[in-house]
Amino acid sequence: MKTIGCWIRIVLLGVFGFSLVTGAAPRIEKNIFYPNISVEQADTLQTERCRLDVYVPEGAEALPVVVWFHGGGMKTGDKYFPNGLQGKNVIIVAVNYRLSPKVKCPVYIQDAAAAVAWTFKNIEQYGGDPEKIFVSGFSAGGYLTAMVGIDPQWLGAHGIRTTQLAGIAPISGMMSTHFTVRSERGDTSKIPVIDEFAPIQHCTKDAPPVLFITGDRNKDWPGRMEENQLMAKTLKIVGHPDVTIYELEGLGHSGGQEIAACPIFLEWIQQHLGD
């Protein structure tokens, strides 16, 4: 493990493990409708896409919870349980959300917030601890993680403060305004935009602990590592006390990055459960 400065670390595969391991088969509940309305009140797209799955280890009791958002640029993708999080004493909530171009911003952000709100309200019945809810996701899922975890309006619409989250861990997410949000406006430029739909616009010391993970700055999406580095630095400048960022050396914007990120994320969860 190589250290750069005091808060950026480059990590290789397989460095960390997680002690809360379970060998028992999990219980999985699929396609739970999560909006704060009845299915009868929902339109067809909501009924199809606003669903989540819950992965529950056997004997779950007051376990930490990971709400996981899939990637795909908010245009494609489907809910799944990351392999690196399975087999641990962690409840996983895997979320689908409505996608562009069938909807436009901020609908997918609102869906992400609604899924987190559902988790706060319901996870105890699955053996999860609502005081130990972490949010994460890869790529577009990382962007949604940052938006709902940093900008207080989205969870605030459900009466939840972002600081009620135990932590957020965006993995290779955009911290400027997402290119899909911009393309919906007709903006196809490669120049970054920072506005109300950029996580970095909402940096505050009053946010949950944050773990940023990206791929190699020369192999991940162009500028992705640097955006996350700027976001992390800005959070520190405004007084946030708990920000960490990892750059995964040699890894691009792929599933390999997610595999490498999971043990780091799990160790970070374990550290924060011990606080």
Between 7-16, 97-106, 113-122, 142-151, the lowest mean confidence (pLDDT) is in 7-16
Residue labelled with tokens 């069938």: 102
- How far the first Cα of the chain sits from its last, in Å, is 24
Read off the pLDDT of residues 157-202 as tens digits, 9 standing for 90 and up.
999 999 999 999 999 999 999 999 999 999 999 999 999 999 999 9
**Is residue 64 scored above 50 in pLDDT?**
yes
Query: Mind listing the pLDDT tens digit for each residue in 212-270?
Result: 999 999 999 999 999 999 999 999 999 999 999 999 999 999 888 999 999 999 999 99
Provide the 3-class DSSP secondary structure of residue 119. helix
> What mean pLDDT is predicted for residues 11-39?
73
pLDDT at 2 over 80: no
Q: What is the pTM of this model?
A: 0.93
pLDDT, position 21: 61
Q: Average pLDDT of the chain?
A: 93
How does residue 4 score in pLDDT terms, banded at 50, 70 and 90?
A: very low
State the DSSP code for 202: G
Asked whether 65 and 93 are in contact (CB, 8 A), the reply is yes
- Count helices and strands (H / E) in the chain: 7, 10
Position 5 confidence tier, pLDDT thresholds 50, 70, 90: very low
Rama region for 77: left / alpha / beta (φ>0; ψ in -120 to 50; rest)? left
Q: Is the pLDDT of residue 15 over 80?
A: no
Which CATH number characterizes residue 16's domain? Answer: 3.40.50.1820
DSSP H/E element including 44: helix 44-49
| Domain range enclosing 117 | 2-273
Domain count, the chain: 1
Confidence bin at 54 (pLDDT 50/70/90): very high
When pLDDT is averaged across residues 92-96 and rounded to a whole number, the result is 99
In the predicted model, what is the mean pLDDT of residues 143-155? 99
